[in-house]
Amino acid sequence: MFEKKFRLEIVTPTRIVFRGEACSIIVPGVVSSLGVLAGHMPFLTVLDVGEVMVREEPDRVRYLAIDGGFLEVLPDRVMILADEAEWAEEIDVERADAERRRALKILEEGGTEEEIEMAKRMLKRAQNRIKVAAKAMRGGGAG
């Protein structure tokens, strides 16, 4: 099933997160998760905050937390253009938990509509980072 590979690039505005080959990826689409294998039909879509699963080899899977962006599938490569991205093993869980607590405090205390929306996004990001980091702790971060 995973014999064919494709070129994959994952980039943010500040760094190249990954450049290499992959057997498959699963990304957080806005409506639902999307899977891509070699030879997939070209398309472009918006990505949500969520987890990216990169299968580099049939027996090697890595997880990445992203904060939204775009997925572009082309005939010769696949690109993820993420607003922010961290491999599971890079995530500072204490910092993510502090962000989660700050967001919950804002939501409890209330505020302007803009502050509430910002806190909801902050909470979603923090919860995603904590969930993805847990995969590294269970040995799923690098394979």
Which pLDDT does position 139 carry in this prediction? 60
Q: Where are the domains of the chain?
A: 6-88, 91-137
The one-letter amino acid code at 72 reads E
Amino acid at 106: I
Q: For the residues 65-88, what does the mean pLDDT come to?
A: 96
> What mean pLDDT is predicted for residues 24-37?
95
Binning pLDDT at 50, 70 and 90, where does residue 143 land? very low
In whole numbers, what is the pLDDT of the chain averaged over residues? 92
pLDDT reading at 141 higher than 80 = no
CATH fold for domain 6-88: ATP Synthase; domain 1 (2.60.15)
Distance, CA of 59 to CA of 53 (rounded, Å): 13
Q: For residue 137, name the pLDDT band (cuts at 50, 70, 90).
A: confident
Do 54 and 5 touch, CB atoms closer than 8 A?
A: no
Assign 110 a pLDDT band (cuts: 50, 70, 90): confident
Span 94-105, average pLDDT = 96
State the DSSP H helix or E strand holding residue 107, giving kind and residue range, or none if neither: helix 93-109
| pTM of the full structure | 0.88
Give, in order, the Cα–Cα distances in Å from 67 to each of 8, 29, 60, 131, 134.
18, 12, 23, 13, 17
**Residue among 98, 97, 122, 124 at smallest CA distance from 111:** 122
Q: Structure tokens of 142?
A: 């690098």
